[in-house]
Structure 1
Amino acid sequence: MIYRPEIDGLRAVAVLPVILFHAGIGLFEGGFVGVDVFFVISGYLITSILIEDIVRGRFSLLRFYERRARRILPALFFVVACTIPFAILWMLPAQLRDYSQSLVAVSLFSSNFLFWMESGYFEAGADLKPLLHTWSLAIEEQFYVIFPVLLFALWKLGRRAVIWILAVIAVVSLGLAEWGWRDHPAANFFLAPGRVWELLAGSFCAFALHRRTLPGNDVAAALGLLAIGVAVFLFDDTTPFPSLYTLLPVIGVLLIILFGQQGTRVAALLSMKPIVGIGLISYSAYLWHQPMFAFARIRSLTEPSLALMLGLAVLSLILAAFSWRFVEQPFRAGPNTRLKTQSGVFAISIAGLVLIAGIGAWGHVNKGLPDRFPAHARAVLTMNTDQIARTCHFDERLPWVVPKPACFHTVPNATDTVLLLGDSHVAAISNPVVAALNASGRNVYVGSYGGCIPLPEMERVHKSTAHKCAEFVGAILTYAEEIGIDTLVLVARFPAYLHGTRFSNSEGGVEHGIRMDVRDLTGASHEGQLDLLRSKLEDLAARFNLVLVEPIPEAGWSVPELIAKRMYFEGSDDPSLSTPYAAYAARTNALLSMFSALDAGSENITIAPVHTRFCNFLTSRCTNADGKNILYLDDDHLSPAGAALIAPDIVDAVASLPSH
């Protein structure tokens, strides 16, 4: 196979946006498409080698896997080994337990399955997982377990038949990707079925260019480079992926591979020594960048600065150059390799994979080594999402059920029945609030749905079709009317739905995650989001007595984790924590004014003024932990202690309403 330096240059085009995207550089919000560029390049190069071996009659599955082991494993072993001490030193017990699981998954080339299963609503942020990026390596290796055997077996049917069969597989895979992002977005992203077509796209280039070249075409190659650039700079985390959108960068790579040969301006650009140099170390750079960024975020008490992340991005390239020169190169096939025999390659590969798996199993069995932390820090860390009441909490993975008997909390001689409805904030507070309402002589029906604004005929803009928010809300409101419930208590993260953005407390507490924009399914026109929410609340007030629970102050940082990290890293004994009231006010003032206007204009609407339980106007601070109690489970969900604070306000608000 003739060496094409522009392909190494294309690797640089792939890896740099990925690194800058994971560093949090806003300009590169679509940098994740670099992985798709890698998939196409890999499909092209590997298929080219396989075709040549099959045609020459020298195809050997063992030799193929030997080459893969030499290419992939030395740098992977080295980087993973370097992450283990930092994981033990810096990670919280739950983080280390999850990291240990990822070590086992990496050793089995199944980390994509692990991260898919960990992609639930309350799971740790992706940016805190040092080995998250190995999902793409797992997909490639899963593909290459099957593809060489399939290609060799099909070759007897003839070249044309092989291409047609692979084309059918690619079309089915693309169809699965387009279907999958709607109904199973996490599985679609992490698992191989929706990605195979990208690797096969590169394979088709290998067939097209086998023992021949196409005429170079600067226009086509430039359009290819432009397509990749458009995807990098215009896509973001709300773009369905993989899907038909993925065709843009994939076709871009195809155009460069097919028409960007030496002699074109695009090839001249991509063949520049600095660009080729980055391309040569791109695999190591890809391995290094995510652990460095993740550990920076884990070790920092607040969000790392942009300068630090850019510095780490540069450092990842420096370390990549080192590992390429002293780890990757010495084990490549050739007369100067340090491993002369195939049996030696397999023996060391198996030993390394078993060792990594063993370390991972040890960390998992020992539950993330909690004894590394002082007792008071471990006590703080018991504040976790296991205290979320999940019986009546639904999401994309747990189809909603209305009515559900276990969600009905009754007391003898109840005066009336209350519907407690909302998103995951309801799940966080339901136990103390239900107990308080029951104690006041009221029955309570509870229903919550993750990431769901509890207003009729509304939905999140960026969601899968499996997110049945509107259907759930409609069903539970209808059921409430059927059984005569006349009081509705709404608890939700309304500021996030109003603004669409996640919270930043201006003091280093920055929440990461997809946008939370909402829209009206009826198609009715509104002056803006605030007007939309107002009209929906007025509609509800025509059907129920309405208690509007003020937005619970968001923290921005995970409160238990930050306090525990201060205790561990700084030796602090202070379990208190607060955020600026100004950040809460800026995010909620317009919403609270609208609530007040509704309260003043209707006798059957009232407000539960819960934010005053946390925010002090004199100190201009909002309390996250008061020295005795941790009031939050994470960055926005209340702990049982926090929920107990606001329960009396909700009971008082319900009691103030007239009979419907």
Structure 2
Amino acid sequence: MRAVAVLAVLAFHVDKSWLPGGFAGVDVFFVISGFVVASLILKEREAGSFSFLSFYIKRIKRIVPACVLMLFVVALVVFFLFSPDDFRGFRRVLIQALVFNSAHYFAGFRDYFAPESYEIPLLHTWTLAIEMQFYLALPFLLVLLSSRTIKLVVPVCVVALFGWATFQLVDHVDGSQRMYFSLLARVPEFLIGVLIPVFLRGRSVPARWDTALGTLGLVLLGVSFFGLSEHDPFPGVAALLPCTGTALLLCTPSGFWNRALSAKGMVGIGALSYSLYLWHWPVLSVFRYVRMDYALPLPVLACALALTLLLSWLSYRFVEEPCRVLGNRRFFLILVPFLLVFGLFISESKDLSRRMFAAPVPDISADGWSPLEIECDDTVCRAGDRAATRNRILVLGDSHGEHLCGFLDEVGRSEGLVFNLSTSPGCHMIPSIGVRHVRASYQSKCSERMDRVAPYLDEADTVVLAARWFNYPEISDDLEEFYTEMERRGKTVLVVSQVPEFLQSPVRFERFQRLGLVAPDVEPQRNPMADQANETIRKTVDGHPNVAFLDLRQSPFFSTAPMWRGSLVYRDKHHINEWGSRHYGLLSRAPFAEALEALTNRSADRE
């Protein structure tokens, strides 16, 4: 059964189209864990030999050594391979995984600049966190309560928690991610496994039913693996399919399918299942990180799977098995110092990574500039000539407005302008549109900021809109309504084009070129969809005399993008860095000032 579970998960993680519901293999693992651990606890309880301390030490020996080794090896590889910004994100996940809290961390995962989920090497550790937390509570349930009470409490908890999770998925728009990583939503899956030894201990299903029930269990697993997909509400009631299928197979040991699953090859894979689970995802994610793509060519995939099998066998042979039989004292004498060294590495690694591997960026002051100094309060930041009084200008936008701080500071200082910036990652910051077109997880924060910026909008003469237009494909009609509202209030609007976007990370290209993994003459490809988004937004200004579109895509600054004067000017696929922002402003201050002046003159002529 462990082999079935790990092979399903592996197939899903290699290519989602191979087994759309293969993620349900995790649920199979949870049921098996509940079944095995509950059986052991109840057996020792009946014999009067159960010890809480002994139980927890056995769980630690079973799970922690192989997990910590995997974390350490992956951390070393990622330290040398990842860009400093990506390593900083990895380090946060690493700390959570090390204390078995990653499920809670991923439930609220809202890192706007995080890499794609398939490039997060420790994403799979959430299941280990769930298991360890469940193991903390299970002995108290099975040892401190009477057998009669257990037989009442466990089924009630299964029904109540499955119902609660289903309600959360149906009733809350943003509940899917939270429930997927929720301990409470997963507890009933373990408890289904617990039900088997609780109700069948010392008894068995009649032999004549074994094959029929086993067949039904296998069918339910098949429906789960092939019928479910990542887009379905899960876990909730849908998790009953793989959980019930697993339980039926576990409680019918004499059936045909159980004998088939007990074949030597399946048992061997099952023995390796924990190590296979630990290593397959980091290996796949690192390969995908280097290639900057989810799809892996067949030769690369073959190498990844071969490396996974090798690392899994080494982990099983030299870590899992020896640690199980190692004396407690020797075990902790090895584990504790190793954890201390690992902790020291984690504490020093962030700054060390930046000092050793950050892409070289020229000193801004070497070009005659002082470092960027932006004055901010709770609502806006001010850039440019802060002594200027003419043309009260409000800049609204998402992170693509934010990364223009240096740009606006250069333009403002040169042209005698001051800009009030109200920008926020993931928010378009246009109050009259509200939180439409904003990701659900950002809506509360966006709404709050939009409310606070309203007084600045009232005072502004000109509004500058700067955003990643690629993120808002359906915003055209709403923008035109905003333009009309601004015209009614006597304000002009300047819409700035989105900077060119790339399909691969320029920072990684630069990093991989220094490592010799990418040829020096290979460059990241531009994303044509970003240009299409710019064209869509440009058309919205037609017919609005108070609005202009400033297209800076043909600026000399982008002629050699993502580099300028031999230095990297991007910090990810679609954001420019501070040094780049300052140069961008230096080269664009004249057309920007001309566009503002033309808008002001046009407005004066209408009046």
Instruction: Tell me how far apart the structure 1 counterparts of residues 456 and 162 of structure 2 sit (CA, whole Å).
Output: 47
Gaps of 5+ in 2: 365-370, 487-491
Select the structure with the greater relative contact order (CA < 8 A; seq sep ≥ 6).
1
Q: Is the 8 A contact 1:12 1:279 kept in 2?
A: yes
Q: Is the 8 A contact 1:97 1:368 kept in 2?
A: no
1:67 aligns with 2:48: no
1:379 aligns with 2:371: no
1:249 aligns with 2:266: no
* Structure 1 residues 60 and 112: CA distance shift in structure 2, 3 A: same
How many Å apart are 1:175 and its aligned residue? 7.2
* Structure 1 residues 281 and 389: CA distance shift in structure 2, 3 A: farther
Please give the secondary structure, in 2, of the residue aligned with 1:451. Answer: coil
Superposition map of 1:427-438 within 5 A: 427-433=402-408, 436-437=411-412
Superposition map of 1:236-635 within 5 A: 236=231, 245-258=235-248, 261-262=252-253, 267=258, 270-271=261-262, 273-297=264-288, 305-307=296-298, 308-332=300-324, 337=325, 339=326, 344-345=327-328, 347-349=330-332, 351-365=334-348, 367=350, 369-370=352-353, 373=356, 379-380=360-361, 404=379, 411-412=386-387, 414-433=389-408, 436-437=411-412, 440-454=415-429, 456-457=433-434, 459-460=436-437, 463-464=440-441, 467-468=443-444, 471=447, 475=451, 478-479=454-455, 483-498=458-473, 532-544=474-486, 545-569=492-516, 578-580=523-525, 583-584=526-527, 586-613=528-555, 623-635=561-573
| Equivalent position amino acid for 2:547 in 1 | I
* Structure 1 residues 656 and 31: CA distance shift in structure 2, 3 A: farther
Instruction: Tell me how far apart the structure 2 counterparts of residues 180 and 443 of structure 1 sit (CA, whole Å).
Output: 46
- Residues 491-544 of structure 1: per-residue CA shift (max 9 Å, x gap): 22222432xxxxxxxxxxxxxxxxxxxxxxxxxxxxxxxxx4321121111022
Task: Find the counterpart in structure 2 of residue 502 from structure 1.
Answer: none
Task: Find the counterpart in structure 1 of residue 368 from structure 2.
Answer: none
How many Å apart are 1:176 and its aligned residue? 9.2
Q: Is the 8 A contact 2:35 2:193 kept in 1?
A: yes
Greater displacement, 633-642 / 201-210: 201-210
Q: Is the 8 A contact 1:97 1:363 kept in 2?
A: no
- Residues 6-61 of structure 1: per-residue CA shift (max 9 Å, x gap): xx2xx334323433444455555654443333223212221232223323433222
Q: Is the 8 A contact 2:422 2:429 kept in 1?
A: no
TM-score normalised by L of structure 1? 0.73
How many Å apart are 1:623 and its aligned residue? 0.9
Instruction: Tell me how far apart the structure 1 counterparts of residues 414 and 130 of structure 2 sit (CA, whole Å).
Output: 54
Instruction: Tell me how far apart the structure 2 counterparts of residues 390 and 198 of structure 1 sit (CA, whole Å).
Output: 52
Instruction: Tell me how far apart the structure 2 counterparts of residues 271 and 53 of structure 1 sit (CA, whole Å).
Output: 26
| Equivalent position amino acid for 2:462 in 1 | T
Q: Is the 8 A contact 1:608 1:650 kept in 2?
A: yes
1:224 aligns with 2:220: yes
| Equivalent position amino acid for 1:65 in 2 | Y
Instruction: Tell me how far apart the structure 1 counterparts of residues 374 and 173 of structure 2 sit (CA, whole Å).
Output: 28
1:210 aligns with 2:214: no
How many Å apart are 1:348 and its aligned residue? 0.9
| Equivalent position amino acid for 2:339 in 1 | I
Task: Find the counterpart in structure 2 of residue 518 from structure 1.
Answer: none
1:174 aligns with 2:165: yes
| Equivalent position amino acid for 2:308 in 1 | S
* Structure 1 residues 365 and 118: CA distance shift in structure 2, 3 A: farther
* Structure 1 residues 303 and 251: CA distance shift in structure 2, 3 A: closer
Greater displacement, 222-231 / 100-109: 100-109
Cα-Cα RMSD: 4.3
Please give the secondary structure, in 2, of the residue aligned with 1:281. Answer: helix
Task: Find the counterpart in structure 2 of residue 527 from structure 1.
Answer: none
| Equivalent position amino acid for 1:652 in 2 | E
Instruction: Tell me how far apart the structure 1 counterparts of residues 522 and 451 of structure 2 sit (CA, whole Å).
Output: 40
* Structure 1 residues 20 and 605: CA distance shift in structure 2, 3 A: farther
Task: Find the counterpart in structure 2 of residue 529 from structure 1.
Answer: none
| Equivalent position amino acid for 2:154 in 1 | I
- Residues 375-405 of structure 1: per-residue CA shift (max 9 Å, x gap): xx5534999xx9998968xxxxxxxx7xx36
Instruction: Tell me how far apart the structure 1 counterparts of residues 76 and 386 of structure 2 sit (CA, whole Å).
Output: 54
Counterpart among 112, 134, 157 of residue 125 in structure 2: 134
- Residues 563-582 of structure 1: per-residue CA shift (max 9 Å, x gap): 1332244699x7x98544xx
* Structure 1 residues 101 and 120: CA distance shift in structure 2, 3 A: closer
Counterpart among 230, 238, 250 of residue 235 in structure 1: 230
* Structure 1 residues 254 and 382: CA distance shift in structure 2, 3 A: farther
Instruction: Tell me how far apart the structure 2 counterparts of residues 26 and 255 of structure 1 sit (CA, whole Å).
Output: 22
How many Å apart are 1:126 and its aligned residue? 4.5
The total of aligned residue pairs comes to: 578
Q: Is the 8 A contact 1:12 1:278 kept in 2?
A: yes
| Equivalent position amino acid for 1:359 in 2 | F
Q: Is the 8 A contact 2:161 2:184 kept in 1?
A: no
How many Å apart are 1:283 and its aligned residue? 0.7
1:636 aligns with 2:578: no
Superposition map of 1:24-63 within 5 A: 25-28=16-19, 31-63=22-54
Instruction: Tell me how far apart the structure 1 counterparts of residues 147 and 120 of structure 2 sit (CA, whole Å).
Output: 45
Instruction: Tell me how far apart the structure 2 counterparts of residues 425 and 638 of structure 1 sit (CA, whole Å).
Output: 9
